Amino acid sequence: MDGTMIDRVERILPLVQANAAGMEEARSLSPEVVAAMREAGVFRMCVPAEYGGPREADPLEEVGVFEALAAADGATGWCAMISSGTPLITAFMPEAGVKEIYADGPDVVFGGGFAPTGTAVPVDGGFQVSGKWSFASGIAHSSWLFAGCIVIEDGRPRMLPNGMPDLMHVFVPTSEAKVLDTWYVSGLCGSGSNDFTLENVLVPEHRTLRIFGREPLRSEPIHRMPLLPLFASHTAAVAMGIGRAALDEIGRLARKKTPTMSMQPLAERPTVQLGLADAEAGLRSARAFVFDALEDAWNTVSAGETVSGEQHMLLRLASAHATRASAAAVDFAYTAGGGTALYRKSPLQRYMRDVHAVTQHIIVAPQTFGAVGRVLVGLDPGTPVF
């Protein structure tokens, strides 16, 4: 397919929209949507060029892509965000592991569980990994999974000099996992974020990595971006896309709906007019904050410099704020839609459920504001997930 990344994505949006209701019912993305994203190059956006990626990844473009897909369907935007961002994690893994993952080409679809809910026991040749992980978005169409583990020695967690347990992530073929049918949820239903288990799976050393307190093994600018703030902006992009879709939908509905027991269209109600203007301003200004903070950090690393603590903090704040503003926009649209928004045929009820699923993610959850506030008054953030 020709054109820029966003051009190619825009061409598949009608297909995504047409499949949205069915994917929610099936609790998984459709093969047609996954194939369309693969053909558009969505899954290879952050893959290094030497392994078949198109070029140097651009975080501003990535956010735009996730936002556009999420406006068409939140679950699709979410799965694209999870899989497309995972190659950034492989920058902490030995080259032999990266080569193995991309041996069949760059269009690898990833799933997995980031939280360290598994164990990794050192053995000859690598680690014996067991455990159960939740929220493995897109696992049904993935070929590789990442999983967070605590390294166990002599039956106990291996402790680091800083007093923290030794946290490690591993990559395993999806075929080695047992997928559990657990994804019965209120929002982002189509993401198919089921649980999975691994039982005494041997993971070679070259498919393991440590993120916290380590530097990436690649030197491209994208890998000099702080990893958690970058993922926070990706997550916010999904919320912003859903918020955009909700405001567009209530605008359409207001022009054609005359509420019961009313003589005037919904569009003529001052409360709707004022609420829509407020939600529009809130979403657009929050979005601008994300792009401003992201561009500032990107310009810094592109110049060969290191992102400052303030830039790190602002990117986390912008992402959490945009997620909250997106949820507020959707809540307005859903409430303004009245009884119409209750019906499954209205996308407003799906937008409401989907955006509040995004707000639950730890990377943009409300406690982020507390961590940012601590930094603003000169304290440490009080959490390692910052």
10-residue mean pLDDT series, the chain (386 residues) = 83 98 97 97 93 85 97 98 95 96 94 95 96 97 97 93 92 98 98 98 97 90 94 98 98 88 84 96 98 98 96 98 98 95 95 98 95 95 86
Dist CA 99 CA 122 (whole Å) = 23
Q: What is the pLDDT of residue 57?
A: 76
Q: What is the pLDDT of residue 2?
A: 65
Q: What is the pLDDT of residue 152?
A: 97
Q: Which two tokens stand for residue 26?
A: 């099936």
Dist CA 132 CA 332 (whole Å) = 38
